[in-house]
């Protein structure tokens, strides 16, 4: 019997830039875990040689034996439709994984595509223009037509994608994500140093993410007006992450409401995030929709109690380790936050359950499930 040929995996890594912090973090952590999950594979990754990247250390990937293939084909350009299929043919790739749905649609090998939610359909106002909305709709349609399998991160997202895109559920594979190994409790000294460097208050609740409409930050600000009225639960509210001027402005709302305890930090360096989480009294995610909700696990891994919406994919990410609320009810949000801020015993119990929950989810497991999808479509 002839020996089986190695699996030749080609992955579109052009989202490993500062422009795609969420999908980029997902892919970088998956790539770090892939070599240990599949021993009989050659892994090649297309990377954007002109993209700004201050977040992801490509040398780590090369040290793991992953082959980096620089390309000038823009992730949203037409050039990729010619260049990437040619490269895939030259590599004799067994499978092509596009973690972002706007990618090449090659016919030279079986394709696995990541689609993590239906936010573009449910919240089209989050996209910058009608052209972007049409592009997202067309891109999704082309992906659905060309992909052998679609990867998503929760059972909720699988069901939603199957219904919204009219897909057979067996074409959708669930590969839950995990917190990266770097997310662990920081020392008191590290927290004090970050507090000094970023001039952070002694007590703060934290939100990490964008201000797109589905993030529901307007309801969080309404809830905060009730939370801050109770002196025994008094602390600041910090927002970390890039905010788009086209969407709800936390800073303008704080100014209008006279809140002097609300602050936007903007984008925070990757290496500072674990310490920022650790120093928080609690982490809050009031989203109306999340396909999964990775920041929830990152906060839990750092030993920070989590409050989040009881909706969409978030209960799968947070399990039984979060304080839940109705994201469309500001009073429900406020009640949960006040309970956590006023009751340290309850918050500590959530933090301990959260850390244990986060430790049960690993990127090695995510990689193993992803490789199973590769093998299925390659066969």
DSSP per residue over 59-115, as a string? HHHHHTTPEEEEE---TTSTTHHHHHHHHHHHHT-SEEEESSSSS---SSS-EEEE-
What tokens does 80 get?
């990729």
**pLDDT at site 3:** 39
**pLDDT at site 128:** 61
188-360: same fold as 7-178+362-378? yes
User: Which CATH number is correct for 7-178+362-378, 3.20.20.210, 3.30.470.20, 3.40.50.2000, 1.10.10.10?
Assistant: 3.40.50.2000
**pLDDT at site 126:** 61
How many angstroms separate the CA atoms of 168 and 6, rounded? 30
Q: What is the CATH number of domain 188-360?
A: 3.40.50.2000
DSSP string of 39-63, one letter each residue: SSEEEEEEEETTS--SS--HHHHHH
What tokens does 200 get?
């952070």
If one counts every other C-beta atom within 10 angstroms of the C-beta of residue 196, the result is 9
| Low-confidence spans in the chain with pLDDT less than 70 | 1-5, 77-78, 104-106, 124-136, 231-233
How many angstroms separate the CA atoms of 166 and 8, rounded? 30
**pLDDT at site 133:** 67
Question: Model confidence over 81-93: pLDDT tens digits?
Answer: 778 888 899 999 9
Strand, coil or helix: 150: strand
pTM of the model: 0.91
């Amino acid at each position: 019997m002839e020996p089986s040929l190695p699996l030749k995996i080609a992955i579109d890594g052009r989202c490993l830039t500062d422009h795609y912090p969420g999908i980029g973090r997902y892919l970088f952590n998956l790539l770090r875990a892939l070599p240990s999950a599949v021993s009989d594979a050659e892994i090649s990754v297309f990377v954007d040689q002109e993209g700004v990247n201050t977040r992801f250390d490509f040398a780590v990937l090369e040290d793991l034996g992953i082959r980096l293939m620089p390309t000038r084909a823009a992730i949203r350009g037409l050039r990729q439709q010619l260049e990437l299929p040619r490269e895939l043919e030259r590599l004799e790739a067994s499978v092509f994984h596009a973690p972002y749905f706007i990618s090449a649609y090659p016919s030279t090998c079986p394709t696995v595509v990541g689609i993590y939610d239906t936010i573009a359909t449910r919240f089209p106002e989050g996209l910058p223009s009608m052209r972007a909305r049409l592009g997202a709709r067309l891109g999704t349609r082309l992906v659905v037509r060309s992909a052998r399998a679609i990867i998503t991160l929760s059972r909720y997202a699988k069901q939603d994608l199957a219904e919204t895109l009219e897909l057979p559920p067996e074409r959708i594979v669930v590969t839950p994500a995990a917190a990266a190994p770097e997310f662990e409790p920081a020392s008191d000294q590290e927290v004090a140093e970050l507090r000094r460097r970023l001039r952070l208050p002694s007590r703060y609740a934290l939100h990490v993410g964008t201000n797109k409409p589905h993030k529901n930050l307007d309801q969080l600000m309404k809830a905060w007006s009730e939370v801050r009225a109770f002196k025994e639960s008094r602390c600041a509210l910090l927002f970390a992450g890039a905010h788009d001027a086209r969407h709800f402005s936390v800073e303008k709302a704080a100014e209008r409401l006279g809140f002097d305890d609300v602050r936007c930090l903007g984008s925070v360096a990757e290496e500072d995030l674990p310490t920022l989480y650790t120093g928080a009294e609690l982490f809050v995610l009031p989203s109306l929709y999340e396909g999964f909700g990775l920041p929830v696990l990152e906060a839990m891994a750092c030993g920070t109690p989590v409050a989040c919406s009881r909706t969409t994919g978030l209960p799968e990410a947070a399990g039984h380790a979060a304080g839940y609320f109705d994201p469309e009810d500001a009073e429900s949000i406020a009640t949960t936050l006040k309970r956590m801020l006023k009751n340290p015993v309850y918050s500590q119990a959530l933090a301990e359950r959260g850390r244990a929950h986060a430790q049960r989810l690993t990127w090695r497991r995510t990689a193993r499930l992803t490789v199973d999808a590769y093998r299925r479509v390659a066969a």
